[in-house]
Amino acid sequence: MSKRPAAIGADVSVKTLADADAVLHELAWLANEKARIAAEAKQKIDRIKADAAEKAFVDIDGTAVAFDKRVELLESKLSKWVESQIERHLDGKKRTVELPHGKVGLRQQPLVAMIGDESTEATVLDAIDERCGVVTAIKAQLERKSQIGKARCGDLISVEIKPALKAMKDALEAMRLSREDVESLGVSIRDAYDEPVLTPTKMIVADAA
């Protein structure tokens, strides 16, 4: 701990440059102590994490396998089984199966419209504008010379024009737009799909020895 500056008391009174400097001195000391304590805490946390990482292995047929690698393998195998086999075990509209040690099932992920890998919001707007000129019309409307006093109205607002991806998705689902129409604007479509759901039962955490 660095040496604490002379105490200026609970009733802080600043009347002179010397008083101001005393306050600055204490502020500097407090900032330094706060940083020192945070650094000590980080070192302790890092040591705890390193110790935990050394213990996070499970023996599989005589080989030490990291927990994360084992989880990745188990989830991959179970997900593939769920994708190919779970439908035969589902009852009516229920999308999950309860098992003694957890639940498995399917969760539907909706269709999503997103900016394509080779596109940006700007290029999508350009493509829309090329079709119908709506972006240019909006910008022209905002740049009109109408005034309030000596200020232009356009100087008093901030408007961001962005592609309405949800509206495109809704129009696609309602068949007001075709997939080709949407993709020609530089927008990608991710189709709806069933995602495997794996939910192991939570176990009571044992106290550390």
Single out the residue of 24, 42, 20, 44 nearest to residue 32, CA to CA: 24
What would the pLDDT profile of 111-158 be if each residue is shown by its tens digit? 999 999 999 999 999 999 999 999 898 888 777 766 666 677 667 777
Say if 74 falls within a structural domain. Answer: no
Q: Please state, as a whole number, how many other Cβ atoms lie within 10 Å of the Cβ of residue 158.
A: 6
| pTM value surpassing 0.85 | no
Residue 162 has pLDDT above 70, yes or no: yes
Say if 98 falls within a structural domain. Answer: no
- If one counts the domains in the chain, the total is 2
Domain-terminating residue out of 38, 65, 92: 65
Say if 193 falls within a structural domain. Answer: no
Average pLDDT over residues 56-66: 96
What would the pLDDT profile of 82-113 be if each residue is shown by its tens digit? 999 999 999 888 999 999 999 999 999 999 99
Average pLDDT over residues 49-69: 96
Question: Which residue segment(s) compose the domain that 55 sits in?
Answer: 1-65
The phi, psi pair for 178, rounded to 5°, reads -90, 165
Say if 194 falls within a structural domain. Answer: no
Instruction: Give CA separation, 6 vs 27, 30, 32, 53, in Å.
Output: 12, 13, 16, 45
Residue 200 has pLDDT above 60, yes or no: yes
Say if 7 falls within a structural domain. Answer: yes
User: Alpha-carbon distance 41 to 48, whole Å?
Assistant: 11
Average pLDDT over residues 63-88: 97
Q: What percent of the chain has pLDDT over 70?
A: 93
How many helices (H) and strands (E) are present in the chain, helices listed first? 6, 9
Q: What percent of the chain has pLDDT over 90?
A: 76
Domain-terminating residue out of 23, 45, 65: 65
The pLDDT of residue 190 is 96
